[in-house]
Amino acid sequence: MSRPLTIVWFLYDFRLADHPALHAAVARGDVLAVYVHDPVAESPWEPGGARRWWMHHALTSLQESLAAVGQRLIVRQGNSQECLLQLARESGADAIAWNERWTPSLRGRDTQAAKAFSDAGLKVKMSAGPLLHHPEKLTTGTGGSYTVFTPFWRKLRSTVTPDFPLPAPALDAAVERVSALTTMAIPDLGLLPKITWDSGFYEKWEPGESGARSRLQVFLEHRIGRYHGARDLPAVAGTSELSPYLVHGEITPRQIWHAVVELQESSADEHYREECEHLLRELAWRDFSYHVLHFRPDTPHLPLKPKYAGFPWLHDPAGLRKWQRGQTGYPIVDAGMRQLWHTGWMHNRVRMVVASFLTKDLLVPWQEGARWFWDTLVDADLANNSMGWQWAAGCGADAQPFFRIFNPVSQGEKFDPDGEYVRRWVQELEHWPVRLVHAPWTAQGAVMQHLQQQGRGNYPPPVVDHAAARDRALDALKRMGGEA
């Protein structure tokens, strides 16, 4: 008599370790690993171009990991509910297991699918999703949701111990009824860009579970001891760079959390322990973003503070395009936007600077920036992306007040004092003196004239005067009715 067969439905959990649904399936019998490409289910936030590139390679890596233990990854395309029901009929599977998903569209889809599977006589098992803690189980003293991070963090840190990560289960070779199933080739999903713009992605990233483990190891061995200070310097490799691996589920926050806690508890160095705590706080910020998104599923397109729905934004397609192309004339902004285009990633400090510039210097709606990031970031995450852009625009949870407007010149001088980051990504400025890389345009005039004479002065003038743009932004805030 054959053992029970469970379909394990993979989506943004492209790993074998710490995969609760996979563990549940192995515990009851044989496994049928399945990925269904169904971007329509995520509309209007289906994966952007950079994410699709990553998904292609993440799926390939998962397929190889399964093949190494004799398993297959069955790939289908279409309506996920219909495809999975068809696969259950083809294989004789009697159960479907997957890990919880926390974006609004996928959560709604999964609820409907669970009912359809159950109605069809299949056992349904949904396991813990990619968070430290269930969003509904961390509430305020009155039982409500949090909109300020610090009390959320205090509550989480004092009351929550994230589950310990599970090891990769021992998988048997695929049974005959799985081996007989048809599958699509991953390249046929069409995830890779048709226009080659991703060459820099290959230089920087190694998608897949092994790439995630390697990145974590480098961070723990070489970076975490100086994390708090170095993470603000874009020219320094000071951040973990684990965000795209978290987004695609090649590593879990539980794995990172416990690896850091182990280092923290084994060290007698108070400074080192504090550095570890800063990283744990950043993981909690990710949970906080999902907490807000869960209770306010409209935040990807509507401001959390209702007053900002009437903010007098400008329609400025030319300014938006210059910002997207890294042609604003402000070096730190342009460096960030060019790093994004070349690598699919941008340093977090610079993300704040470019977001402030778009929403406050140009008065372009934050939703435009969120959409551009969504399409160009390999770590585009709906909760974090929405939270970050509303934070920059002053209209979200625990947001920076709108009247606090980053000066792109002083931000560059403070966080890129040697001009190393700017001169790496804005090649027109690679020969400029350090003292002038971030200087106001008027101070750059003589240098620009000299460079133009040498045929190297093709850097654009500022798209706006920052001082005037700041006054315009504050006037717009006043017309809205002041700070919400």
* Region of residue 400 (left: phi > 0; alpha: psi -120 to 50; beta: else): beta
- Is 348 among the catalytic positions? yes
- Is 9 among the catalytic positions? no
One-letter amino acid of 298: D
One-letter amino acid of 426: V
9, 98, 313, 425: the catalytic one is 313
90, 153, 197, 285: the catalytic one is 285
Strand pairing class (30-37; 95-99) = unpaired
79, 82, 206, 348: the catalytic one is 348
CA atoms within 13 A on the CB side of 335: 31
8 A C-beta contact, residue 377 and residue 346? yes
Report the interhelical angle of 317-325 vs 366-376 (nearest 10°).
30
45, 53, 389, 425: the catalytic one is 389
Residues in CB range of 125: below 8 A, 6 or more apart: 6, 21, 24, 25, 95, 96, 97, 98
Rounded Cα distance between 469 and 253, Å, is: 40
State the DSSP string of 106-161.
Answer: HHHHHHHHHHHHHHTT-EEEEE--SSSS-GGG---TTS----SHHHHHHHHHHH--
Name beta bridge partners: 6.
31, 95
- Is 285 among the catalytic positions? yes
Strand order in the sheet with 123-127: 73-77, 30-37, 5-10, 95-99, 123-127
- Is 282 among the catalytic positions? yes
- Is 313 among the catalytic positions? yes
Rounded Cα distance between 131 and 139, Å, is: 15
- Is 205 among the catalytic positions? no
45, 54, 323, 366: the catalytic one is 366
206, 282, 413, 428: the catalytic one is 282
- Whether the link from the prior residue into 44 is cis, omega within 30° of 0, is yes
DSSP state of 104: H
Q: Which residues participate in catalysis according to the annotation?
A: 282, 285, 313, 348, 366, 389
